[in-house]
Structure 1
């Protein structure tokens, strides 16, 4: 590993977001059989939001959440902290089944969900370092610039107004080395992911939800959730396991567990921020195929993420978050490409996590009333906000409500499973190999999106 590491550098240990909080030990464990009205499998954002909205709507409901590790152990405690109103999938694909207006309604709901999460945090006293500073995306090659402009035009065609997204001067908010053009949208807020997850877990327990941590689910069937510590019987069972869905035997090929990695620097001095700007705590992204995402943290670090080893053979999940040295080096080089002045700092922490990817790259929510089995997830990396919409949607489905949420085009959506191995591994690694090559060609001056990227999209249906 060539990247400069701080004396207190940590690799894995779930994520940097738990450094200040401390990695929690599983608290209350299931101890024997019990009966509930609703059993939720998975203690991440989806499960916690669903539990929250269910008991707020009907305090008499007996809701149980079952979590193998601790609430917020997975992507909910490891993500980049983008509370962004981004669609978890393609508007075109949602429109194919439900029409363009339904896709636009979905987008509007995601915009409003950013404020909904902020409102709940305020009302429930969850201190998650939330700042609604919007999202600033940059293009650093001519091909990226063309894609950025085309995306903004496309978003306007889907009903976004200039107040929702616009092309802006490259140095308007953050001064990124080599930026050619930029876009900005107000529909994004910075959050500290672990604080949000643990805060929400505390709130739902105070509302009467029974959260059982350290309780691995070994089987899900109509009316019954089986664990090594007992059986939970419930009329409704909701699977909210996102990237860990592949660990369930009956759902092994439903969603691909895609890996994403992050590094975080030591706190940067004021002179650095004076040079680069970033005063509004905007989230930062780019238009490369092998894209990055970043935030300025509450303690003035840069948390910087991107793809590491994108997929492990057989849909295995490296759940402790340890990150390979070459990934740390690659993220460090990319960070310096954006901000050469960061060379004076070191890396304090590196970690990884998995997100769920359906075969058509579009998230889904549903409830089969004949079996009582429901699900939500497959957010393709846009889950911090989408989980809130999913939680409210599952609430309405469970309570039998016919609402605008239950009419959204992701409800009941089903797609085919991923291919068996070795096709999955070959396809995913070919896709990201092609994306890396496409980025390299575009950095060399190719003015339009490389044909290699288009081939990669076709391979996996991205």
Structure 2
């Protein structure tokens, strides 16, 4: 069943009064800000970025060596960007799905699947060890076919559900089949996960400064220097987790682009509304379209419904003004109504957006500089809730200077193709987006442009 992009009057009514902020961050549990850097500071390890990447790196550094002096430098407040605005899906995948892994890293995809499951297990174990209150649920994921050709793609996979079986899990007239992977995904409250990481880092002795943007990185024999608005940090080693924001290493600035993703959240469903949908096993859901939707239940039985549009702004523009896009919200609300017509009349309490860093292979890449004293990672493309913990270990291995299984992975040693500069980036991304829309409307037939990208090893498949 194709999704119609034309919003309805019912969709407009459901959006009326929705707050233009992430509900995860719109929470009284949000911690008070920490003071900014004033003057000079020194550290064994400086971590730039207070989202999941930076917090996991700081935490894992202290777990490896409790005596290590770790300073985390955040430009605004911990978790304010993608880490506090996402859907809360903690995926085991390190490659944005097995098919994408097979395309880019065929020789090691099996091992990467194993490492991804070990990483997901490790996140759950860490949450249990430190007593994190982050609404952790190991629900698995349900991938949904909404078009006939997608049913054939899923048939034969482990966990395949035909139409009757998938409707028994979650009831929607759009579902034709599905695959339930029972252990590959957990759900969390993403802001609570950030704040629990932050709390544990502080308890382990990590120093955190907020409101301290890093403007420049340099190095010499004395160490690596980070110049900020409030002073200078000198460190023996630096880990960069700035993700969607321009890299402090200029060589990687063309390797990512920011795309804006949009999300809605409903009011809590009543018991009767829950029964009308089913969803007793609370899986994270996504469909198989190139312009795909992802959705889930929260701890208080709201429905988070996001995806479909992925908007690129000319010049790699990052702006708070892009966080709100009425057209995308109306489209999502209309699609929600198509997906769950039995929930007619349910209102949305929040409508928000934010930037995701993506690269041409759809999963992160790593880099080093300053003779191995600086390590960086970027390009998570929506995988960051889970993969940042794995990435943190890679960054620390790279800074340690000795080869490990992780540092020898082709995933770590290889770098995706960069995006071109403007205006070619805008033209290419626009052309690709239109081609993906056409493929969705033509039963998955990808056409010559997408076939050319496939041949070039560019991972635009979802």
Q: TM-score, normalised by structure 1?
A: 0.88
Kept after mapping to 2: 8 A contact 1:292/1:305: yes
Q: Deviations over 1:298-317 (max 9, x none)?
A: 11110011143511111111
- Equivalent residues in 2 for 1:381-396 (5 A)? 381-396=382-397
Residues 1:57 and 2:64 are matched in the alignment: yes
Query: Does 90-99 or 189-198 show the bigger shift?
Result: 90-99
**1:198 and 2:195 are equivalent in the alignment:** yes
Residues 146 and 221 of structure 1: CA distance in aligned 2, closer, same or farther (over 3 Å): farther
1:177 to 173, 180, 185: 173
Equivalent residue, structure 1, for 2:268:
267
Deviations 1:235-272 (A, max 9, x none): 21111111123687664322111221101011111112
Superposition deviation, residue 211 in structure 1: 1.0
Q: Retained in 2: the 8 A contact 1:366–1:413?
A: no
Q: 2:52 aligns with which of 42, 45, 48?
A: 45
Question: What per-residue deviation string (whole Å, max 9, x for no partner) do you get for residues 252-300 of structure 1?
Answer: 3221112211010111111121121111221000001100101101111
Gaps of 5+ in 1: 154-161, 443-447
In structure 2, the residue matched to 1:285 is: 286
Distance in structure 2 (CA, Å) of the matches to 1:368 and 1:246: 12
Q: Which of 20, 40, 44 is matched with 2:27 structurally?
A: 20
Q: Between Structure 1 and Structure 2, how many residues are aligned?
A: 442
Are residues 99 and 300 of structure 1, via their aligned partners in 2, closer, same or farther at CA, if it must alter by over 3 Å?
A: closer
How far apart in 2 are the matches of 1:91 and 1:275? Answer: 33
Q: Is contact 2:139–2:282 with CA below 8 Å preserved after alignment?
A: yes
The 5 Å alignment of 1:30-429 reads 30-89=37-96, 100=107, 102-149=108-155, 162=158, 166-167=160-161, 169-186=165-182, 187-222=184-219, 223-245=224-246, 251-308=252-309, 310-319=311-320, 322-368=323-369, 370-429=371-430
Change (3 A) 1:180 1:170: same
Q: 1:371, CA displacement in angstroms?
A: 4.3
Distance 1:195 1:454 in 2: 39
Change (3 A) 1:319 1:307: farther
Alpha-carbon distance between aligned partners in 2 of 1:228 and 1:250, rounded to the nearest angstrom: 23
Residue equivalent to 1:445: none
Q: Can you list the C-alpha shifts for 1:407-444, whole angstroms capped at 9, x where unaligned?
A: 333223223421011111121122222222332344xx
* Structure 2 residues without counterparts, runs of 5 or longer: 1-6
Residues 95 and 409, structure 1, Cα contact 8 Å, conserved in 2:
no
Q: CA RMSD in A?
A: 2.6
Distance 1:179 1:416, change over 3 A: closer
What is the CA–CA distance in structure 2 between the aligned matches of 1:97 and 1:5, rounded to whole Å?
A: 42
TM-score, normalised to structure 2, is 0.88
For residue 365 of structure 1, give the secondary structure of its aligned residue in structure 2: strand
